[in-house]
Amino acid sequence: MITTLFYILSAITLATAFLTILSKNPIHSAIYLVLCFFSIAGHYLMFNAQFLAIVHIIVYSGAIMILMLFTIMLMNLNKEDEKNKSVLSRIAAVVSFCLVALVLLATFIKAEPQMSRYYASGEDYQSIKVLGQVLLNDYMVPFEFASVLLLVSMIGAVLLSKKEYING
């Protein structure tokens, strides 16, 4: 049962990832990416990481995809404005993709897993209570820096997308 669910989620993840890349419409690509994020959250649930799955759905499927959709809408992508790529640039893209794929394949083939002993500390790091204590006690300053950084980036995005009107 679990193996079947894993294969179904993996097929959905791979299919929606490829549809994200291959789709001509950017809105459809964003929707496929959201479906891919949900299937990855399903993998997290299979690993018994409920908190990580919920945070993944909230952060990626919620916040990041909304920002991407706003960016797509602000860019005003029209097919009439898009220039056709030359044959030489398409060939260069295919060659570079093949070279990167070859390097990755060679890296995976040559890689050897390192076996080390696993020591169980007995601490439950899946618990939201333990995670909250660690996050808000030990890592309070980096947590606050991250929140300020996100606030400043949101303000910057709003200021960059603001249209200037000249009275004249």
DSSP string, 13-76: HHHHHHHHHH-SSHHHHHHHHHHHHHHHHHHHHHTT-HHHHHHHIIIIIIIIHHHHHHHHHHHT
The per-residue pLDDT for range 44-62, each reduced to its tens digit, is 999 888 888 888 888 888 7
Provide, rounded to the nearest whole percent, the portion of the chain with pLDDT above 90: 21
Q: Which of 55, 53, 19, 22 is nearest to 39 (CA)?
A: 53
Is the Cβ–Cβ distance between 46 and 2 less than 8 Å?
yes
The per-residue pLDDT for range 69-120, each reduced to its tens digit, is 777 777 665 555 556 777 888 888 899 989 999 998 888 888 877 777 767 7
